[in-house]
């Protein structure tokens, strides 16, 4: 179990480094074939090809990024990683804060990513947005292991 947590932690660190450095091509290789990214405002993007297009969309480079309160739960052959984030894009003073969740499948590839932004004056916790997401993902996760 500790080996699994270590592997997921390394994947998390690799993702953050690639994201900070703008290496979007590296991000898709960390995902299952049937990966889903569910933005807070917009439709879910499904499948590696569609997610690759999403990740390659032009965006301002990340000027600052911090991730705190990372937790990893191993649940019936899946893993759930939760964390708080703080991000500021280059050329902007606006700081984005919130929580994100990844669901990972064995061989520790990312199957699902979602996040929620803190509202003005309110800091989200896992239960505010993410807890309802996880049970449905766990039932979907039993359908396949991805690659």
In a domain? residue 146: no
In a domain? residue 58: yes
Instruction: Specify the pLDDT at position 132.
Output: 43
Q: Which residues pair with 50 in a beta bridge?
A: none
In a domain? residue 107: yes
Q: How confident is the model at residue 141 (pLDDT cuts 50, 70, 90)?
A: very low
Domain extent at residue 49: 2-141
In a domain? residue 105: yes
Number of domains making up the chain: 1
Cα radius of gyration (the chain)? 15
Apex 133 CA angle, 129 and 139, nearest 5? 170
Please determine, for residue 126, whether its predicted confidence score (pLDDT) is greater than 80. Answer: no
Instruction: Specify the pLDDT at position 11.
Output: 97
pLDDT tens, position by position, 24-57? 899 999 999 999 999 988 899 999 999 999 998 8
CB-neighbour burial class of residue 119 (10 A; exposed 0-12, middle 13-18, buried 19+): exposed
In a domain? residue 15: yes
Instruction: Specify the pLDDT at position 58.
Output: 82
In a domain? residue 147: no
Q: pTM for the whole thing?
A: 0.80
In a domain? residue 110: yes
What CATH number should be reported for the domain holding residue 44?
A: 3.10.450.50
In a domain? residue 69: yes
pLDDT tens, position by position, 42-97? 899 999 999 999 998 888 888 999 999 999 999 988 999 999 999 999 999 999 99
């Amino acid at each position: 179990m500790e080996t699994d947590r270590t592997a997921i932690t390394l994947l998390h660190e690799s993702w953050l480094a690639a994201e900070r450095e703008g290496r979007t091509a590296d991000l898709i290789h960390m995902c299952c074939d049937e990966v889903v990214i569910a933005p807070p405002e917009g439709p879910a993007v499904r499948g590696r090809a569609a997610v690759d297009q999403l990740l390659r969309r032009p965006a301002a480079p990340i000027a600052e990024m911090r991730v705190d309160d990372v937790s990893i739960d191993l649940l019936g052959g899946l893993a759930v990683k939760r964390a708080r984030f703080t991000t500021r894009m280059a050329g902007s003073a606006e700081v984005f804060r919130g929580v994100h969740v990844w669901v990972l499948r064995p061989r520790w590839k990312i199957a699902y990513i979602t996040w929620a932004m803190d509202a003005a004056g309110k800091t989200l916790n896992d239960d505010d947005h993410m807890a309802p997401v996880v049970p449905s993902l766990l039932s979907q996760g039993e359908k396949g292991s991805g690659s």
